[in-house]
Every structure is written in structure tokens, then in C-alpha cells.
């Protein structure tokens, strides 16, 4: 028997705004309100409010928190500055990806955000491996919102003065309408924006306050997926899994320089070998000829029709008005400009390897004009 859907703190809030709800990561979640294409374009032009409260928020504290996490992640936590989120990975002993996550040093502890579909497994994995001097707390009482798009800064600065001073991948403690909030300038759409962690008991008031701003509309999972695909960002369970290494997935930037050289994290021997010799396959971006999108699960085939790779994400890009995809292809066919043949339901599609992102990122980086 399948597990019943869990509800988000904003479940009724979504339904009252006409959301179409679907099951995702064990939760009933909004896939769209007025339509994926319209919501996608609104986020690219204005500001979209996403409910990402299904994500797992975790604190790891104690005298051995840093040492314990360094044994699990390929991040150099020793040099991680306070309030600077870093993208990292939980890895298997064979270098496969258990999950991708964000880790932030917050004074005497670390704050992690993990994927909703994998959070229970991630927490069990960490708890079984962290040393006694490290304590893990799953922050079940916290909700998480993401405000994304070029107008996000105008909206949030109106409600939270000072938040405009954050730059991409920086964070801090703020107050919004009297409610304590942890806000980072980050997100998973390729746009400038913020992720806002607030107590679940107050999230309805906060979401209403933000959504009442003229530049903001609530946005569903459908547009979140098309935005992150255009941004070339992998989705766990689709583009990343236990069988994928960070080198194959083109996530070498998540392997800190000291850790690549010294090791001491799961899978290091295989990863070091792939860094030296190159992986057998690589995640690439594909521009697909024609108008019909090629979806996850389509095969990459050679001239004889033999499967040599797999499409892991695909769809029609509202911004480029053309079909795009991510796929794993043989390393020899991974260079930009290489021709790739795809097979979906017996039909063949021509595609070309192209650099990602498909749509340029618009993060507000340090030193950029305000």
C-alpha cells in the first residue's frame, strides 16, 4: 500500500489560490496555478513565489560537527566562512551521489538543506555515520519559501530592509513582519532570488504578505522544473543518483581543491581516478532539432541503433522556444558541437551537444552593480 500524501503547511493556501495539486516526494504539492508557460515567463520577468517546504532542513552541531561532516562531504568546511552557503554532495563509498545539498556554517553549527524526496534517507545516513560529538536536528518545525526572479530583490527589500545587501550565495538572520527568518540569496531557477526559512506556524502570513506584492505570483512545480532545466541545473533522482559520480555529472566544482588532493571522503579513490583519466560518460546539454520535446528516459543511440546513453531531463524551453534536454553521453561525444542521435518511442531525433546553461544565469554576484 502506498504511503498517504503528506501535506505542506501551506496546503490550503495553495488550494485557495487555484493550485492543481500532485504527489511529489510524498507530499501533495502545487504543480501549477494558471499554467506552466505563463508561470515560467512571469518568474523570468517579475518574481515567482515557490513553496519548497518539502525540502529537509537540518542542523549539525557539537564539537565534532565540522570533522564529522567533512568525513561525509567533499567540501572544505575548514575554510567555509560564516553565512556562505556551499553546494555539496552526500556520496556512497563507490562515489555515487546519495543527494546534493546546501551546507552553511552558522556560528557554532552547520545548517543543511537536502532534497525532499531523499531527506529521511539522508538523515539516517548522516546519523549513522556522524561521530558522538556531533548532533543532528531535523528542523521539522521550519517551512521554506523561494522568491525568484529579477524583481525578487525589490519585493523582499521592501519587506526586509537590508536583505538587498546580500549577494549570491550569502545569507543571514533577518526579521520579516516580526517573524525570525534565515534568508539566503540563492535558488534553483538560474534567476536572482532568495530562499526564506521561517517557522511553519507563521509561513501562511509570510507567504500572503509576499504574494500580495504586485510583482509576485505563486508558482508551481512545473515551472520550477522548466526553469531549472533552462539553467542547466541537475535534479536529484533524474540527472543524479547512486550510479552517477560528481565527475560524470559535471559537478567537479563541488569537490573542494584540498579534498580532491587529500581525499578522506566516500568514493574518493574512484573520483580521483576519474579526475585523472576522465569519466566514461558525461552529463551534457542538448539542443534538439524540430519542435517536439524529448523526455526523460529517451535513449541516446549510435548509428546502429544501440543504446549508448540516456536522456535524464527534457522539455520544451519557454525562453528559447525550442526543445532542450540533459543526457549522459559517452565522453568521446561530450564536446560542444558533437552530433547526438536520440530515440523516443521508436522515433529518431537529431540533437547537438551545447554548453549549459541554456539560458544565462542572472545571479547577483559580489561586485555586481546594484
Cis status of the peptide bond prior to 322, with omega within 30 of 0 = no
3-state secondary structure of 333: helix
pLDDT in tens, 163-187: 999 999 999 999 999 999 999 999 9
CB 341 within 8 A of CB 308: no
| Residue keyed to cell 526543445 | 323
The continuous run of DSSP H or E covering 276 comes out as helix 268-277
What's the whole-model pTM score? 0.97
Taking residues 187-192, report their average pLDDT: 98
Q: Is the pLDDT of residue 3 over 60?
A: no
Rounded to whole angstroms, what are the CA distances from 3 to 24, 26, 29, 237?
A: 12, 7, 15, 19
Phi, psi for residue 189 in degrees, rounded to 5: -120, -10
* Mean of pLDDT values over 79-99: 98
What whole-number distance in Å separates Cα of residue 339 and Cα of residue 329?
11
Judged on CB neighbours under 10 Å (0-12, 13-18, 19+), 273 is middle
Q: Which domains does the chain have, with CATH numbers?
A: 6-56+141-230 (3.30.1360.120), 62-123 (3.30.70.1400), 280-354 (2.40.30.110)
Distance set, CA 196 to CA 111, 148, 173, 225, 343 (Å): 13, 11, 10, 19, 41
Q: What is the pLDDT of residue 119?
A: 97
For range 92-103, the mean pLDDT = 98
All cell numbers assigned to 237? 533522482
Nearest CA to 282 out of 208, 333, 347, 225 is that of 333
Q: Which residues contact 182 (CB under 8 A, 6 or more apart)?
A: 106, 111, 171, 172, 173, 174, 196, 197
CA 61 to each of CA 6, 184, 370: distance values in angstroms, whole numbers, following the listed order: 28, 20, 35
Rounded Cα distance between 134 and 199, Å, is: 24
- Cα→Cα distances 187→102, 201, 208, 250, 330, Å: 10, 23, 20, 19, 30
Residues 146-163 have a mean pLDDT of: 98
Mean pLDDT of all residues belonging to the chain: 97
Q: How confident is the model at residue 369 (pLDDT cuts 50, 70, 90)?
A: low
Cell of 44: 523570468
Amino acid at each position: 500500500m502506498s504511503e498517504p500524501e503528506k501535506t505542506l503547511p501551506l496546503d490550503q493556501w495553495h488550494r485557495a489560490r487555484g493550485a492543481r495539486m500532485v504527489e511529489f516526494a510524498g507530499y501533495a504539492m502545487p504543480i501549477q496555478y494558471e499554467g506552466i508557460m505563463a508561470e515560467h515567463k512571469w518568474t523570468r520577468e517579475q518574481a515567482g513565489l515557490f513553496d519548497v517546504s518539502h525540502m529537509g532542513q537540518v542542523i549539525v552541531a557539537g564539537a565534532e560537527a565540522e570533522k564529522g561532516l567533512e568525513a561525509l562531504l567533499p567540501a572544505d568546511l575548514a575554510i567555509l566562512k560564516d553565512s556562505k552557503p556551499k553546494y555539496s554532495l552526500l556520496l556512497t563509498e563507490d562515489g555515487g551521489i546519495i543527494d546534493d545539498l546546501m551546507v552553511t556554517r552558522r556560528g557554532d553549527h552547520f545548517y543543511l538543506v537536502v532534497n525532499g524526496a531523499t531527506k529521511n534517507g539522508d538523515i539516517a545516513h548522516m546519523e549513522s555515520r556522524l561521530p558522538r560529538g556531533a548532533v543532528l536536528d531535523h528542523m521539522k518545525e521550519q517551512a521554506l519559501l523561494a522568491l525568484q526572479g529579477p524583481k525578487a530583490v525589490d519585493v523582499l527589500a521592501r519587506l526586509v530592509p537590508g536583505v538587498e545587501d546580500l549577494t549570491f550565495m550569502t545569507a543571514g538572520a533577518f526579521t520579516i513582519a516580526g517573524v525570525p527568518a534565515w534568508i539566503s540569496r540563492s535558488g534553483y531557477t538560474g534567476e536572482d532570488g532568495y530562499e526564506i526559512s521561517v517557522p511553519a506556524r507563521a509561513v501562511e502570513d509570510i507567504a500572503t504578505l509576499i504574494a500580495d506584492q504586485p510583482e509576485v505570483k505563486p508558482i508551481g512545480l512545473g515551472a520550477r522544473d522548466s526553469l531549472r532545466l533552462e539553467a542547466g541545473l541537475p535534479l536529484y533522482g533524474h540527472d543524479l543518483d547512486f550510479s552517477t559520480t560528481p565527475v560524470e555529472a559535471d559537478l567537479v566544482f563541488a569537490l573542494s581543491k584540498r579534498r580532491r588532493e587529500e581525499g578522506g571522503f566516500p568514493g574518493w579513490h574512484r573520483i580521483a581516478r576519474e579526475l585523472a583519466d576522465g569519466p566514461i560518460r558525461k552529463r551534457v546539454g542538448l539542443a534538439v532539432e524540430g519542435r517536439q520535446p524529448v523526455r526523460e528516459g529517451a535513449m541516446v543511440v549510435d548509428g546502429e541503433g544501440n543504446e549508448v546513453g540516456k536522456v535524464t531531463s527534457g522539455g520544451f524551453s519557454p525562453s528559447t522556444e525550442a526543445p532542450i534536454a540533459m543526457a549522459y553521453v559517452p565522453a568521446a561525444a561530450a564536446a560542444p558541437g558533437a552530433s547526438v542521435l536520440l530515440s523516443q518511442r521508436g522515433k529518431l531525433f537529431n540533437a547537438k551537444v551545447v554548453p549549459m546553461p541554456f539560458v544565462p544565469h542572472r545571479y547577483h554576484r559580489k561586485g555586481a552593480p546594484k
